[in-house]
Structure 1
Amino acid sequence: MKVSIITATYNSENTIQHCMKSVLSQDYDNIEYIIIDGASKDKTLTLIDSEKQNHDNIVCVSEPDKGIYDALNKGIEKATGDIVGFLHSDDFFNSQKTINHIVKCFNESNVDGVYGDLHYINATNSDKVIRNWESKSFSKKLLKQGWMPAHPTLFLKKEVYNKHGVFNLNFKIAADYDMMLRIFKDNTLQFAYLPEVITKMRVGGASNRSLKNIWLKTREDYMAVKGNKVGNPTIIVCSKNLSKIPQLFKK
């Protein structure tokens, strides 16, 4: 199976090399690496071009966009793989065998999506785990409890996007949650939990960068739940936020 990995970048010179290395060093050969750059003004494109000279599986497009979800949508549209996943420019895969394990899970479980665990790590010390997002096997009733898998760990068959569409750009921060609610409430789709850390994410993402963004994220989560009609939005959003607290103590 061919795997398309999408990275959105904008002025990412400090982290893009580490991100790219974690993709290009995977021991799974059939990877298409799509980088959608938002017209960076630093050395991001120079660093990407340097890697492209040695790897013919890299596809890079650089042009202005409407934000990260717009960039990811462009990546989905360009993806030619059977499986599509994301790796943000600040992040990296946990091991060189990560993609191999994900593909093996798809093949053995005959599912439409695979997800795993996520480590939030210190921005300057990748060995320091700030938050351990340990997921669980999927059950539809979990959606009403505010549960969701860590989006950076979620890999889906391309046909899932063909069926359900891409990220809704009306959401500035919670388009990933809206997308997952759309997908996980579909009774015709099957998902498998891979109980291992898939991705390591540096702290400081858009959704938790300020009190203003935290409020916006909460409001958008409410709208996503309401729009997808999975239950009581107030109860679900409160449960979703409270569920993050134990993750701070699992290191």
Structure 2
Amino acid sequence: MKITLITATYNSETSIKTCIESVLSQDYPEVEHLIIDGVSTDSTLNIVKDFLKKHDHITLISEPDQGIYDALNKGISKATGEVIGFVHSDDFLASENVLSEIASQFEKKKCDGVYGDLEYVDKQNTNKIMRYWKSCPFTLKLLKKGWMPAHPTLFLKQEIYKKHGIFDQNFKIAADYDFILRIFKDQQLNFIYLPMVITKMRTGGASNRSLKNVITKSKEDYKALNKNQIGGWSTLFIKNVSKLSQFYKK
């Protein structure tokens, strides 16, 4: 089973090396790594090209795009793996057996998707855990409680994108939440929770970078809830409040 990992980059010179090295360290052999760059103007492309010289499973596409969801959609369209996952340029896989554990779940459980836990780490000191997103086994009623898996930990069969489509670019920050609601409400699909840290994410992502972005994210989350007929303001409130527990030690 080949796993395609998609990384969207733009001026990511401070983090892209760690991201790529975390993929290269995996003990799972069947990996395709697509790096979709938005024409970076720093040294990102030079760093990636150095890896390309030694690793033929890495593919670089650098061209103008309309933001991260456009880049991720491009990656999905070019993916050749049976399973697709994302490793954002500021993120890295938590351990060398992440992909082998995920592949094992797909093979043993015959599932459509696998997700796990996520650690937010300090931007400079990645050994320092700032927030811990511990997930749980999925049930449909969780969606109305504002639940979602951490999107960077979510790996899906390619067929799901063919069935449910790609990221809706009408959302600037919450297209991942809209997509998750779209697929998790499909009761024909089977999702497995893998209780291990899949991804480590540096703090300072787009959705919480400023108060303006937090407000925009909340508005878009509400729009996604309405679009998918999952819930309303109460669901959004519970969703935001539930994040507070992530700041306590696991």
- Superposition RMSD in Å: 0.5
Equivalent residue, structure 1, for 2:94: 94
1:206 aligned to 2:225? no
Deviation at 1:123, TM superposition (A): 0.5
Aligned equivalents of 1:156, 1:128: Cα separation in 2? 29
Equivalent residue, structure 2, for 1:24: 24
Aligned equivalents of 2:92, 2:245: Cα separation in 1? 23
Equivalent residue, structure 1, for 2:42: 42
Aligned equivalents of 1:112, 1:175: Cα separation in 2? 20
Q: Secondary structure, in 3 states, of the residue corresponding to 1:11?
A: coil
Q: How does 1:91-130 map to 2 (within 5 A)?
A: 91-130=91-130
Which consecutive segments of 4 or more residues in structure 1 shift more than 2 A? none
Equivalent residue, structure 2, for 1:234: 233
Aligned equivalents of 2:188, 2:246: Cα separation in 1? 30
Aligned equivalents of 1:95, 1:242: Cα separation in 2? 30
1:7 aligned to 2:7? yes
Q: Secondary structure, in 3 states, of the residue corresponding to 1:123?
A: coil
Counterpart of 1:241 in structure 2: which amino acid? N
Aligned equivalents of 2:140, 2:24: Cα separation in 1? 35
Deviation at 1:7, TM superposition (A): 0.1
Q: Secondary structure, in 3 states, of the residue corresponding to 1:80?
A: coil
Equivalent residue, structure 1, for 2:175: 175
Deviation at 1:45, TM superposition (A): 0.6
Q: How does 1:146-165 map to 2 (within 5 A)?
A: 146-165=146-165
Q: Secondary structure, in 3 states, of the residue corresponding to 1:54?
A: coil
Deviation at 1:154, TM superposition (A): 0.1
CA offset digits 1:43-90 (Å, max 9, x no partner): 101110100110000111000100000000000000010000000001
Equivalent residue, structure 2, for 1:245: 244
- Structure 1, unmatched stretches of 5+, are none
Deviation at 1:3, TM superposition (A): 0.2
Q: Secondary structure, in 3 states, of the residue corresponding to 1:244?
A: helix
Deviation at 1:250, TM superposition (A): 2.4
Q: Secondary structure, in 3 states, of the residue corresponding to 2:118?
A: strand
Aligned equivalents of 2:242, 2:127: Cα separation in 1? 24
TM-score (norm 1): 0.99
Deviation at 1:132, TM superposition (A): 0.4
Q: Secondary structure, in 3 states, of the residue corresponding to 1:182?
A: helix
Counterpart of 2:17 in structure 1: which amino acid? Q
Aligned equivalents of 2:139, 2:11: Cα separation in 1? 39
Equivalent residue, structure 1, for 2:137: 137
Deviation at 1:109, TM superposition (A): 1.0
Aligned equivalents of 2:236, 2:46: Cα separation in 1? 42
Task: Number of aligned residue pairs: give it.
Answer: 250
TM-score (norm 2): 0.99
Deviation at 1:124, TM superposition (A): 0.5
- Structure 2, unmatched stretches of 5+, are none
Counterpart of 1:234 in structure 2: which amino acid? W
Deviation at 1:108, TM superposition (A): 1.1
Counterpart of 1:67 in structure 2: which amino acid? G
Equivalent residue, structure 2, for 1:222: 222
Equivalent residue, structure 1, for 2:57: 57
Aligned equivalents of 1:40, 1:150: Cα separation in 2? 27
